[in-house]
Amino acid sequence: MTHASRHWRNQRATSIALLPLGLWFLISLLGKPSLDHGSVADWFAQPLQALLAALFGAALLWHSMQGVQVVLEDYVGGWLRRFSIAVARLLHAAAGLALAAALARLVFDGAA
């Protein structure tokens, strides 16, 4: 399988994963009677909810990177193309690390 067709297939895979995960997150979020710090911390302190949030975040960031890359490849030319894709990759990786650290802290602080 070539690099491009792998990219195409992976983009479909993350979009299918995001259907249930995105709906879970949006419905959960919108349905909360309160979004103060205590309610949000309690929400993600539950291991199953934190796991779902981790899966959602991973699928979201991966799918986002795939989409942003395609848009940059289409509309940005020259050296700026590679540079902007590298910046987007860095941003997505940083967001992934921050998300993992945040969820780990919410789960383990909540359990303590």
Partner 1 sequence: MPQTADRPLSPHLQVYRPMYTMVLSILHRVSGLCLSATGLVFVAWLASAALGPDAYACVAGFLSGMPMRIALALALAAFWYHLFAGLRHLAWDAGYGFEKKTARRSGAVVVLLAAAAFAATLLLSPAGRFLAGLP
Query: Can you give the binding site for partner 1, defined by CB under 8 A?
Result: 12, 15-16, 19, 22-23, 26, 29-37, 40-41, 44, 53, 57, 60-61, 64, 67-68, 71, 77-78, 91, 95, 98-99, 101-103, 105-106, 109
Q: What is the DSSP-derived secondary structure letter of residue 90?
A: H
Residue type, 58: A
Q: Which is nearer to partner 1, 3 or 37 (CB)?
A: 37
Cα distances (angstroms) measured from residue 85 to each of 12, 44, 75, 92: 20, 32, 12, 11
Q: How far is the CB of 100 from partner 1 (least distance, A)?
A: 10
Minimum distance, C-beta of residue 7 to partner 1, in the bound complex (Å):
14
CA-wise closest residue to 50 among 73, 25, 32, 69: 25
